[in-house]
């Protein structure tokens, strides 16, 4: 826990383009289509809001993989059909090669999901490529039952509230809508002010520390 909190404090106080901090998390999503056509909203004195029938048709699932630099106001959402090792590995390669090609190392905060390991890189790419990516990615894991320490969870909540909290029928629709959301948030440079520090943890979460006689 203190490792992650110290990392946040350092990144917020002293941004280092050579060693950017990125929080990563995923959000599964059920794809749903309208069973019956809805009605758009109508203006005027006799108008009405948009109307959607309660019935829907299940269209499978999707997964949104979010990379979020909370102190830089930048994020990227990748959309996949599932949450698998290869999807995580592809997201990490995009982060390393496309988002931060000039960084010496990218410090990535994530939870302890089984796919969130360097092994996923070796299961997806040839050994030389996997090794190259692993050398550029520095993983920092939140403790068990403390995924709330991952700031990406805050941004995922915003994503759900502003973009995903409605019926989206296909992967293409999810990708299109999340791309528009991402562009707007990045343009506004929406970031996070994180105030929970190591000193706070030692007081408020004292029960988690061992007692020394």
**Which of these, 18, 30, 156, lies nearest to 100 by C-alpha position?**
18
Assign 59 a pLDDT band (cuts: 50, 70, 90). Answer: confident
Class of domain 2-34+54-208: alpha beta
CA-nearest of 98, 77, 79 to 87 is: 79
The structure's pTM equals 0.87
The domain ranges of the chain are: 2-34+54-208
190 phi, psi to nearest 5 deg:
-70, 120
Asked if residue 31 lies in contact with residue 59, where contact means CB atoms within 8 angstroms, the answer is yes
Q: With 90 as the cut, is the pLDDT of residue 145 above it? A: no
pLDDT at 38: 67
pLDDT tens-digit map of 76-135: 999 999 889 999 999 999 999 999 999 999 999 999 888 899 999 999 999 999 999 999
What is the rounded distance in angstroms from the CA atom of residue 130 to the CA atom of residue 124?
A: 8
Q: Can you give the length of the chain in residues?
A: 213
pLDDT, residue 53, reads 67
> What's 35's DSSP letter?
S
Tell me phi and psi for residue 88, to 5 degrees: -65, -45
């Amino acid at each position: 826990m203190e490792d992650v909190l110290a990392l946040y404090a350092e990144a917020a106080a002293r941004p280092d383009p050579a060693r950017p901090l990125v929080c990563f998390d995923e959000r599964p999503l059920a794809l749903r289509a309208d069973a019956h056509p809805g009605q758009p909203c109508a203006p005027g004195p006799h108008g009405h809001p948009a109307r959607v029938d309660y019935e829907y048709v299940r269209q499978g699932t999707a997964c949104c993989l979010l990379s979020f630099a909370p102190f830089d106001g930048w994020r990227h959402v990748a959309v996949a059909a599932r949450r698998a090792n290869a999807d995580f590995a592809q997201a990490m390669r995009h982060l390393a090669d496309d988002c931060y090609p000039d960084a010496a190392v990218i410090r990535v905060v994530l939870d302890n999901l089984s796919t969130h390991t360097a092994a996923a890189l070796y299961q997806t790419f040839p050994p030389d490529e996997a090794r190259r990516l692993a050398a550029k990615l520095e993983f920092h894991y939140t403790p068990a039952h403390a995924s709330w320490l991952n700031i990406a969870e805050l941004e995922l909540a915003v994503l759900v509230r502003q973009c995903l909290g409605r019926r989206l029928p296909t992967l293409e629709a999810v990708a299109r809508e999340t791309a528009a959301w991402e562009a707007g948030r990045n343009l506004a440079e929406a970031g996070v002010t994180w105030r929970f520090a190591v000193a706070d943890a030692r007081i408020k979460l004292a029960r988690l520390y061992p007692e020394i006689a």
